Amino acid sequence: MIVCRTIQELKASLSELRTDRKSLGFVPTMGYLHEGHASLLRRAEEENDVTVLSIFVNPLQFGPNEDLDRYPRDEERDLAIAAECGTDIVFLPSVKEMYPKRPLTTVLVSGITSRLCGASRPGHFDGVGTVVSKLFHLVIPTRAYFGMKDAQQVAVIEQMVHDLNFEVEIVRCETVREPDGLALSSRNVYLSAEQREQAVRLSQSLQMAGDWLYAPGMTAGQLKRNIVSHITESELAEIDYAEFLTYPSLEPIDEQTSTATLEEQTIVALAVKFGTTRLIDNRLFDI
């Protein structure tokens, strides 16, 4: 496994490994890898000739009062996981390497970024769009692998790839969960034992939403109220949003709409704070 810390090293390694017709699978991450990331790496390794992992905690996608400084990092462990998953190249740039000067160009996907995490974290998706497009230009992947826990991020990146004609296939990968259902996230390490116990309510409510959705007389508004009420039975949970939208267009569904009449793919998307830790989770429904 080759570890590259500069763009020059990355380009040199890529040109050695990527001879004609070799497919390249790319897994962009912010590190502190868990089984969710490992599953993306294994899939990229299975489906491509060469696998590239990037580890970069991108300051552009963090707001001023967010967890950039305390975002968990463990380079040694990350490299061991990457090697175990058969990764060929790890790109581990510094902030200075990626942004020698404050960039004056940003990639802003409009519309679908105005809701959910885009509304709660202003500027977040401009940071994501900018860094992912830089990484795509540097790596030139055949396929890029993203976890569906960040379903809005996937919708934003798919839109960006379509609008800007990136020649990369975006591969949506299923969320990996703890045995009790909690979606794996690097931020789960922030949770206290009591918060961790109550955090399971997110995935429980998504499970239950699957039954509620098909209950006779169910409306979009009632579905949301059921979800909110299940989550707020935990006294430590503070809901940032609990939304029921179309996917991937992320259009709101009128509260009065009977769920039996829906014809497109929909998403229940959640962001819930436990103390200062904000967790997200979601479930897609093919009606």
The residue (of 71 and 222) whose beta carbon lies closer to ligand PAF is 71
Query: The tokens 């950039």 sit on which residue?
Result: 68
- Minimum CB separation from ligand PAF for residue 148, in Å? 11
27 near ligand PAF, judged by CB under 6 A: no
Q: HSE, CB side, 13 Å, CA atoms: give it for residue 123.
A: 9
Active site residues: 37
28 near ligand PAF, judged by CB under 6 A: yes
- Minimum CB separation from ligand PAF for residue 34, in Å? 11
Q: Which helix (H) or strand (E) holds 38?
A: helix 35-47
237 near ligand PAF, judged by CB under 6 A: no
Which of 93, 110, 74 lies closest to 11, judged by CA?
93
Which span (25-33, 206-214, 220-228, 236-244) binds ligand PAF, by CB under 6 A?
A: 25-33
Which H, E and C letters describe 61-88, residue by residue? HCCCCCCCCCCCCCHHHHHHHHHHCCCC
Residues 127-146 that bind ligand PAF (CB under 6 A): 128, 131-132
118 near ligand PAF, judged by CB under 6 A: no
Q: How many Cβ atoms from other residues are within 10 Å of residue 229's Cβ?
A: 11
Which span (12-20, 24-32, 68-76, 113-121) binds ligand PAF, by CB under 6 A?
A: 24-32
Residues 40-69 that bind ligand PAF (CB under 6 A): 58, 61
Which span (44-52, 124-132, 187-195, 250-258) binds ligand PAF, by CB under 6 A?
A: 124-132
What is the total count of residues that contact ligand PAF (CB under 6 A)?
A: 10
The amino acid sitting at 3 is: V
| Residue 247 near residue 267, CB atoms below 8 Å | yes
The C-alpha atoms of residue 279 and residue 116 are separated, in whole angstroms, by 12
Q: How many Cβ atoms from other residues are within 10 Å of residue 110's Cβ?
A: 10
13 near ligand PAF, judged by CB under 6 A: no
Give the binding site for ligand PAF (CB under 6 A).
Answer: 28-30, 58, 61, 128, 131-132, 150, 153
